[in-house]
Amino acid sequence: MPKTDVWFYCNKDGNSPMLEWLQELAKNDTRTYNKCLALIYQLEERGHELRRPTADILRDGIYELRAKVGKVNYRLLYFFYGKDIAILEHAFTKTAKIPKEEIKRALNRKAMFEANPELHTYKDE
């Protein structure tokens, strides 16, 4: 399978919720940051072939990368655009179930991205 390009979703203002979350992790929790970064590299290498326990589909084209550090579960939500592009859009700490509002946010961002990929693709200056 060809390598998957991993892009970051950004809001209209150009900020990427996922990158901001990762930057906070890098400053405050290096262990979790490194684990999440390793998951992103796995997504890049395996794309659609990535399965549980590392990744899972939630619904309607929204997937999750799954990290556990100690007793804390982290989820990085993403979706595919075309055949070989994965869009990382936001992340959070998971408690019991994934909150419905997190999935709704992901679905909204997916729709916005699909309507205007150029506007919602993060570009490093």
Indicate whether 121 belongs to any domain. no
- Over 70: is that where the pLDDT of 1 sits? no
Indicate whether 102 belongs to any domain. yes
Under 8 Å between Cβ of 113 and 9: yes
Instruction: Using pLDDT thresholds of 50, 70 and 90, give the confidence band for residue 83.
Output: confident
Mean pLDDT (whole number) for 103-115: 96
Indicate whether 64 belongs to any domain. yes
DSSP-derived letter for residue 14 is S
Write out the residue range of the structural domain in which residue 36 sits.
5-115
pLDDT score recorded for residue 7: 97
Give the count of domains, the chain: 1
Indicate whether 120 belongs to any domain. no
Instruction: Using pLDDT thresholds of 50, 70 and 90, give the confidence band for residue 125.
Output: low
Indicate whether 62 belongs to any domain. yes
Read off the pLDDT of residues 19-48 as tens digits, 9 standing for 90 and up: 999 999 999 999 999 999 999 999 999 999
Indicate whether 93 belongs to any domain. yes
- Tell me the CATH number at 70: 3.30.2310.20
pLDDT score recorded for residue 110: 97
How far apart (Å, rounded) are the C-alpha atoms in residues 98 and 91?
A: 11
